[in-house]
Amino acid sequence: MRGPTVQTCSRCLYTSRHPLHLTFDERGVCSGCRIHEEKDQLDWTARGRKLAALLEGYRSKSQRNYDCIVPVSGARDSYFIVHTVKTVLGMNPLLVTYNKQYNTDVGIRNLANLRIKFDRDIMTLTVNPETVEKITRATLRRLGSIYWHCLAGQTVFPVAMAVKLKIPLIVWGAHQGLDQVGMFSHTDEVEMTRKYRKEHDLMGLEAEDLVDDFDGIAPEDVRSFVYPDDRELERVGVRGIYLGNFIRWDTKSQHEQMLALYDYETAEQTRTFDTYNDVDCFNYSDVHDYTKLTKHGYSKATDHAVRELRFGRLTREEAGELAGRYAKEPPRNLDLFLEWIGMTRSGFDLLMDLHRNDQFWRRGVERRWEYVPSTDEADEKTRQQREEARLQRRGDCRFLLTPSKRPDYLDRDYILIGKGYPEPS
């Protein structure tokens, strides 16, 4: 069965149906690929000096307060961000983390290792698990999302702490809209905003919008997810900058540098070949990614394959093969999520069907849903454009898999709170 015909970038795998939106130039190359070219065009040494000067203006003169806030987790680019801010630039950051409650043992250990290796204070927000479950049931029903509370918590807790502790500067990693679809240029130096958070991270739904008798959600249930008032932000002068605007951002390379320095762990994931990012969560590259495929017709492996293609570590054909292979992988941890939230598989399937994108799914044998990717038709003009836009391969796409530091431990349950442990001396 043929899927819908859409425009596909002549260089990468992204299409005109990308939920963050992108544009195409006269050569059929998408805005994400064009902005990525800046990584090889900008003077990053000069941009690094600009970053250092910017941070210098926020250094605590009395040395009685932290210089800035750095949001962290047990994965993503946390080690690189803290290393850059503390070790390279000599700042005194306060680390903050939102407890997503879907924690893996690897993630708990990585976060503990980060705290110990950098000798940093860390503040953690753990919302009442019953409240999180209630909110997740509501966002699953309304948005088809099991991850709304994570995105909301991760983007509000650092800002709330900045206001409360009067620390005006928050240092984030890379801007998703810039890195994926070229929503901005690096030289725009965009900062974290309430508007982007609501429209993209939160899928248009603020915490206050969840208050509803049907879901049994009261105002006090969402208090931890409410963004501070503009007057509070202005009083402290809170701003959130992205390191990716000042540093040539390459998460794979960065992880491999940090792994050599700080000896944290990587792990295999269900629905992507990337063993570095999001290994702290049972669901991000599993159940959450399955819901992404259901709603948007592509999975996280596509994002990772496009990223590696743009860096010249995959050919277009290799990227397409990886993205297609992992899109077919069923989530391994769905039963664990259903047990946690108190829902049957049939109830989950019913809710997901309400959000299923019929541009990418069709009823097949015995009325079962079958994934039908977009038709990628290439006429002579398209084939010529693809050859002209093709990047030379200049690296490999092997991701390191470290030995487990708890090889006898079976990581089968969410860990709400875990202290981790230091390396034996």
Q: Give residue-wise pLDDT tens across range 107-141.
A: 999 999 999 999 999 999 999 999 999 999 999 99
What are the angstrom distances between the C-alpha of 22 and each of 151, 212, 276, 323, 378?
22, 34, 26, 19, 20
pLDDT average, residue stretch 141-152? 98
Domain locations in the chain as residue ranges: 31-389
Confidence band for 421, pLDDT divided at 50, 70 and 90: low
Quick check: 151 pLDDT over 80? yes
Q: What is the pTM of this model?
A: 0.95
Confidence band for 2, pLDDT divided at 50, 70 and 90: low
Q: For 38, what's the count of Cα atoms within 13 Å in the CB-facing half-sphere?
A: 21
Q: Rounded to an integer, what distance in angstroms lies between the CA atom of residue 385 and that of residue 378?
A: 10
Quick check: 319 pLDDT over 70? yes
Confidence band for 425, pLDDT divided at 50, 70 and 90: very low
Average per-residue pLDDT for the chain: 95
Confidence band for 261, pLDDT divided at 50, 70 and 90: very high
Q: Rounded to an integer, what distance in angstroms lies between the CA atom of residue 205 and that of residue 298?
A: 22
Q: What percent of the chain has pLDDT over 90?
A: 92
According to the model, what pLDDT value does residue 290 have?
97
pLDDT average, residue stretch 25-43? 98
What are the angstrom distances between the C-alpha of 345 and each of 244, 261, 334?
40, 43, 8
Quick check: 4 pLDDT over 70? no
Least Cα distance to 348 among 333, 363, 370 occurs for: 333
Contact 252, 311 (CB under 8 A): yes
Quick check: 1 pLDDT over 50? no
Which position has the token pair 């001396």? 425
Kindly report the backbone phi and psi dihedral angles of residue 102, in degrees, each rounded to the nearest multiple of 5, phi listed first. Answer: -100, 30
**CATH 3.90.420.10 at 31-389, yes or no:** no
